[in-house]
Chains A and B, each alone.
Chain A
């Protein structure tokens, strides 16, 4: 695998971490608010849902960027 391919792989791994952090962070933030306001489990669920939504939207945008870059680099290789 060349350096460009490895770069794409690392970007995709980064997207995976982004999704996990959004979801975990959302749930954790919601849990913290629940403990503070004693409203368990509503804010945990809200945080989890918002984390999932943020993860999906971010993942979609990042994947589009990766696909655009991959298609540009394939065009360059074809021209070469």
Chain B
């Protein structure tokens, strides 16, 4: 009973303190909704060299790699016959995937496919789960209002459109030195670029947009596209090795089975390209949408609104990694079987 009462009080405080409560005079816990954009943001104002900029998703990718390498290092440092600790966990995962590969691709091909399938799974799950940690999306540098307006002007010029300053939203931060933050109850602290140019901001405040230093790696299309391209490239490489050049290309340019066979082969060729696109956008869409959902729930119901969705994101991150790896395995298994064997 006490727990229910405490939970109800927390819920009411969260509701009143969030964006919904702000409409009725509350909003004492919330801050402006985070700025969301599709492309990854550069962590530095200027390019490092030439046009190369280090983006926040790039850093998150390196972070995931460091985590995986560290686990592998510490898990294999003092290996024992009877595994314990991290070695045990690693062996459970490897055994699960080896059995899976053997059941789908057969015992001879399983060990060849296992490294790619496991790498894809481990990288995607590590990147997705790291993206849920605090600090991702919330700590970063502030892109000044002048820079935001300048970039918007450049984009409008590129697109041949007229710039409308009233459509550019800027967040207002407390603190005008190198450390700025959103205080509690700052839900309404947003202004448009037009208002900024007319009235500016108060002393001790600065306007701009938060550019996080860390952003989940798979919230950028480039990352998911890269993984999809690597997966399909290696699948086709295995297919060429297993079936030979004419054996594999003959699946797509099939002159033996008449015009219908040729048409079906061409469709299969198109579906190979569609697979890359579907791999890319399935993973990107799920993880990016999950991040937007977390931002929205934290904005609407601070303190507790985000909790069930963090659990959902843990689950979705794992499932998406599993789907990506299992589909790669299935495509590899199908690609390395000749057409004649399929018919029999």
- B279 vs chain A, min Cβ distance (A): 28
> Which one of B131-139, B147-155, B293-301 is at the A interface?
B131-139
Q: How many residues of B contact A (CB 8 A)?
A: 17
Contact B134 A35, beta carbon cutoff 8 Å: no
Interface-centre pick from A1, A35, A41 (highest chain B CB count, 10 A)? A41
A35–B141 Cα distance when bound, in Å, is 13
Q: Which residues of B contact A62 (CB under 8 A)?
A: none
Contact B134 A19, beta carbon cutoff 8 Å: yes
Chain A, interface size: which category?
10 to 19
Contact B63 A35, beta carbon cutoff 8 Å: no
Residues 1-41 of chain A, each 1 if its beta carbon lies under 8 Å from chain B, else 0: 10000000000000000011001000100010011000011
Do A27 and B63 form a contact, CB below 8 Å, given A44-B213, A52-B133?
Answer: no
Complex: chain A residue closest to B43, CB-CB: A41
Complex interface residues of chain B between 167 and 213 (CB less than 8 A to chain A): 178-179, 213
Of the residues B2, B134, B179, contact of A20 by C-beta under 8 Å: B134
Of the residues B133, B179, B213, contact of A45 by C-beta under 8 Å: B213
Interface-centre pick from A31, A35, A45, A51 (highest chain B CB count, 10 A)? A45
A51–B63 Cα distance when bound, in Å, is 12
Q: Which residues of A contact B (CB under 8 A)?
A: 1, 19-20, 23, 27, 31, 34-35, 40-41, 44-45, 48-49, 51-52, 55-56
